[in-house]
Every structure is written in structure tokens, then in C-alpha cells.
Amino acid sequence: MGTSTDLTFGAAQLPPAVAQAAQQILDRIENDEVDEDLIHQLASLGPLREKALIDHRATGAVFTPYPIAQELVDLLDVGAGEIVCDPSAGSGVFLLAAAERKFQRGESVTSISKTLRGIDIDPVSIEVSRLTLKLWAASKGGQWPSTDHLVVGDGLLDVPEKWLGTCDVVIGNPPFLGQLKSETSRNRGRAQALKQRFGSLYTAYVDESMLFFLLAVELSGEDGRVTLIAPSSTLGSDSSQLAREWIDSRLTLSGIWIGGRSVFESAAVDVVAPILRNDKRDECLIVRYETQDVLAVQRPLPGCWSSLLARANGVPAIAITATRRLGDRAVVTADFRDAYYWLAERVVEATRNDHRPKLVTVGLVDPFSYRYGDIPTRFAKQRFQRPVLDIEDNPPTQLGAWLEQRLIPKLLVATQTRIVECYADIEGKLLPSTPLVSIIPEQESELWHLMAAVSSPPAAAWLASAAAGTGLSQGTMRLRASLIADLPLPEPSKTWDVGAELAREIQEKGVNDEAARRFGEAMNQAYGLPSSELLHWWISQIPKKRP
């Protein structure tokens, strides 16, 4: 090709490995060695920049592999002439994939350079993205202009005003900065600035990636399309519920790309990319990256993005109409940290014929059973076979009050599960350790009815639809007390009475397929959902008895 380019690299801040690789690419271009592989060599500058980073965690800098960026650019069907923006551009992998796609569709390099926008907080990454696009332009026989639309800044706070409402496509992989870990949590000044910027949609625990979704919707023009890679927990987390509802009121969720856990080599996290566009159809598409399966399902209710993941995981779609929620009939609570600290000082191994209160941990609760003594459990960094609480005669007042509220008949629910795992503590002798959820019926006589409702197939499907992806993997959910309290209850009926009786029987005698089928059938009827699909799905999810 013999293009002469005015590339200047080796700029002070470029990592040496990047400058060296860029020189090799330039040599190839100048020697007319441009072939299909060159694009991958260009895309490799990003990972070299990533390797040079000292700490990825604070800015969530985990760069996207080129084939993934390509796949998402294709899914959004990026067209010639469209304005494409990546609000946390990193080293520009999405812009590179968009440039290539636009070029293939007949757009000139000059036009492409005017229609790509990127912002990143890291000046070196922006420099790498500029270098990548300069080399790309040279490889096409064109020239990247000296003034482009790649800027250094905080995307959430400094994005250029004139970009708002004018992008055809907003695409990228924003930083995932969970707010429960100190190394990724925001400082107070930034939290205040973000609160001012996003108003009531900002919540203290909202993941940074969800704020980028809000920004992306603001950047998007009326007929714009948006997709950002995000941790699957954002689909159902409580902290981003308001943000999801607001987004759904502006653009519609038209699909979801399920990336799974294998997308990023350096971060084992389950990822998804919700796809938003102005789309009036009732259907949503689910695309699975790992298998390339595509599934069309009904669009979820506003803010209920988890339900798409639930559908992808095979959870049947259900609609429950109810006049009462569990929280109307019971107190639903996950204990607080103080209780944990008290317990930590007082839990000991049981002696023979010990009558002290037993400690329950989440790992011990299975559907209809409690494995105390069968398997060891860990609590406060110690291993116990039969943990009991050694309480002094005069416990601190608050601890005494807490013990009184917990040592009563109740249901205990594990929090990281595929279906609901609930055990009825009928004698009120078990003490829950956080994050186990306690359900304390207002009327003790309703204990087994509530147990049947919470343990039922409709409850499992309803909760999975609301919280799929919020657990440690895409197939599990993290059940928070407020969500469990929201669970719809069936109307009083004979079938619910039968379900309650069967729940008691199963807890006493153990779960087997026949008992589970009879219980599931009764509760499906009680909820007005006599569905064999729901029943089969639920039975298939019951964990096999552990040895």
C-alpha cells in the first residue's frame, strides 16, 4: 500500500510494549502487509495497555476481547454514517470493531473518524485508542484527523454536553465497581457529585456500571440503541431497581446477550449485555454467547430484567395475581451485623445432651431439611460440627431482646440458591446466623401454610424471575428479606391446606420424588397455576440428597 502516515508514537505516557507493538504494525502497513490478521494485531494493543496497569480494580479496567466487541457491534447492527459512542472507551476495542464494520458497509475513513466518540478517565488508554484508530485508518489507506472525538474525562460527570441525545449507538464495557468492597467503593466526594448528577436514581450501593447505563440512555438519540456489558447481578439488584425502571421508561429492553463467566480471562464474573432500543414489539431476544442459541420470549415488566436470565436458565414464565404478600402475614428479616458479632464470641461446640440453642448457618439449610450434625459448618472463621450458643445468665439487653425474638417457631431460608431452601424450626430452638433469612409468622398456626407457600414451585419461579443472576453465578439467586416479604401468597383454599400438610410430612420424613410431586401439584393449584412444566422444572431443581 505504501501509505505515508504521520503517526507519532512513543509519546511519553505510552507503555513501551504498546509503542513497540504499534511500530511493528506500522511497519506491516508501510510494507503493504495488510491482511485479515492485522485487525487482531491492532486489537492486541489494548491488552498490552491492560497488562501495564498497576491496579485494575480501582477503575474496573478489564478490557474486552475483540471478538466480543465485534459480536455486540453486529448485534446492534451498526450502520454506515451512524454516530457510535463508548462512554468508557479504554483502548477503543468497541470503536475499532465499529470502525471496521462501518468501513465494510461503505463508509469512508474520514466520515468514520467524525462519527466515533469515546471518553475514558485514563489518559493513557485514550492515547492507546487514538493510536489504534490512527493505525487502523492508515491500514485502510486513510488518515485519522488531528482533532477527533476521543476525550479524557469522567464519563459520568464530564461527558461533552453536545454528545447528549445525539448518539445512534452507545456501546461498551463500563467499569464494574461493586460498592460493597472497599477497593472499588466510591469516595464521599464522588458519591455526592453522582447523587447530584443522577438524583433519586443514584443509590449508595448502585454498581458503577448501572450509572453508565443511565448515561448511555441520555447519550442515545430517540432511535438510538444501547448495549453495555454489566455484571449479571445488576439485572435484579435492589440498588439498581429505580435505574432499571427509569431506563425502561425511555428505551425498551429488546434483548439480552448472555456472556457467561468465560468472557474475561482476568475477571471471573458472570456478565450480560442488556440491549435497549426504541422497539414496540412484545418480544425480547435472548442470545447466549457460549452456545450462540437465540430464544424469543415475552418482554418483561418494567425493571424486571432478571426475568430474561431466568427464562434463559429454563425457569417457566408465570403470572401470579394475589391480594396478599408474605410480608402481610409474617415478619421477614435477615439479621443484622451486631447479632453476628455477639454470636461470634459465644458459639462453641456442643457437648453430649446439650440443650443450649443451636446455631444455623446458610450452608446447613436445604429444602425441607436442616443438616445440623450431619456435616460440618463454618462460622466466624471456625469449623463446627454442632455449634451451640453459650449465653451468659445476664446477656446484654439488646442481645437478650434479640434472643427472645428469634427463639420462637419460624421458617429459615437460605440465601444463595437455585430454588427456595426453607426449613421450619417448629420448636423455636434454632438461632439464625446472618445472612440466613427468618420468617416469623404473625400467627404460629400459619407456620406450615407459609412454609408451603415459600417452598412451592410458583414461589421458586417467581423469586428466580425477580433475582436470577444476583447470586454467585447466573444460575443462582441471592434472596434478600425484602424480596421474600414481597412474595405473593395464594388465596386460602383446601389445596393450600393439603400443601401445608404435605410440607410438614416432607420435613418429617424427607423429600422423595413422589412426595415432591404431590406437594408441588397441590401448591401449583393453590396458586392457580396447574402447570406440569412448572412442576417438572421445580422437581429437577431440588438438590439431590447430599451424602
Ligand X SMILES: C[S@@+](CC[C@H](N)C(=O)[O-])C[C@H]1O[C@@H](n2cnc3c(N)ncnc32)[C@H](O)[C@@H]1O
Site residues for ligand X per CB under 6 A: 46, 59-64, 86, 88-90, 93-94, 119-122, 125, 154-156, 172-175
Best CA proximity match to 540, nearest among 416, 367, 424: 367
How far is residue 241's CA from residue 230's CA, in Å, rounded to a whole number?
A: 15
How far is residue 98's CA from residue 71's CA, in Å, rounded to a whole number?
A: 10
In the complex, minimum distance from the CB of residue 532 to ligand X, in angstroms, rounded to a whole number: 44
Cell (9 digits) for 107 = 463508509
Q: What kind and span of H or E run contains 259? A: strand 252-260
Which CB sits closer to ligand X, 126 or 450? Answer: 126
In the complex, minimum distance from the CB of residue 410 to ligand X, in angstroms, rounded to a whole number: 43
In the complex, minimum distance from the CB of residue 52 to ligand X, in angstroms, rounded to a whole number: 12
3-state secondary structure string across 54-69? CCCHHHCCCCCCHHHH
Which CB sits closer to ligand X, 174 or 441? Answer: 174
Which CB sits closer to ligand X, 119 or 466? Answer: 119
CB neighbourhood size of 141 (10 A): 12
In the complex, minimum distance from the CB of residue 77 to ligand X, in angstroms, rounded to a whole number: 19
Residue 188 phi/psi, 5° resolution? -65, -40
Which CB sits closer to ligand X, 142 or 259? Answer: 259
3-state DSSP assignment of residue 272:
strand
Which CB sits closer to ligand X, 90 or 316? Answer: 90
In the complex, minimum distance from the CB of residue 367 to ligand X, in angstroms, rounded to a whole number: 38
Which CB sits closer to ligand X, 186 or 356? Answer: 186
- CA-derived radius of gyration, the chain: 27
Which CB sits closer to ligand X, 134 or 346? Answer: 134
Please report which residue ranges of 332-456 form alpha helices under DSSP H: 337-346, 397-406, 447-455
Best CA proximity match to 57, nearest among 169, 183, 155: 183
Residue number with the smallest Cβ distance to ligand X: 90
Q: Exposed, middle or buried by CB within 10 Å (0-12, 13-18, 19+), for 196?
A: exposed
Would the CA dihedral through 209, 194, 98, 282 be positive or negative?
positive
Which CB sits closer to ligand X, 175 or 471? Answer: 175
Which CB sits closer to ligand X, 226 or 326? Answer: 226
In the complex, minimum distance from the CB of residue 212 to ligand X, in angstroms, rounded to a whole number: 8
Please list the residues that pair with 430 across neighbouring strands: 358
Pairing state of beta strands 230-231 and 150-152?
Answer: unpaired
In the complex, minimum distance from the CB of residue 172 to ligand X, in angstroms, rounded to a whole number: 4
Which CB sits closer to ligand X, 86 or 425? Answer: 86
Which CB sits closer to ligand X, 266 or 482? Answer: 266
In the complex, minimum distance from the CB of residue 207 to ligand X, in angstroms, rounded to a whole number: 12
Q: What kind and span of H or E run contains 379? A: strand 377-379
What are the DSSP calls for 480-514, one per residue? Answer: -HHHHHT-EEPPS-HHHHHHHHHHHHHHHH---HH
3-state DSSP assignment of residue 372:
strand
Which CB sits closer to ligand X, 61 or 304? Answer: 61
In the complex, minimum distance from the CB of residue 44 to ligand X, in angstroms, rounded to a whole number: 12
Would the CA dihedral through 460, 465, 471, 474 be positive or negative?
positive
How far is residue 455's CA from residue 424's CA, in Å, rounded to a whole number?
A: 11
In the complex, minimum distance from the CB of residue 411 to ligand X, in angstroms, rounded to a whole number: 41
In the complex, minimum distance from the CB of residue 167 to ligand X, in angstroms, rounded to a whole number: 15
Cell (9 digits) for 388 = 451451640
97: Cα separation from own chain's centroid: 25
3-state DSSP assignment of residue 302:
coil
In the complex, minimum distance from the CB of residue 107 to ligand X, in angstroms, rounded to a whole number: 21
How far is residue 444's CA from residue 374's CA, in Å, rounded to a whole number?
A: 28
In the complex, minimum distance from the CB of residue 259 to ligand X, in angstroms, rounded to a whole number: 12
Which single residue is written with the C-alpha cell 440498588? 239
Cell (9 digits) for 210 = 448501572
Which CB sits closer to ligand X, 271 or 487? Answer: 271
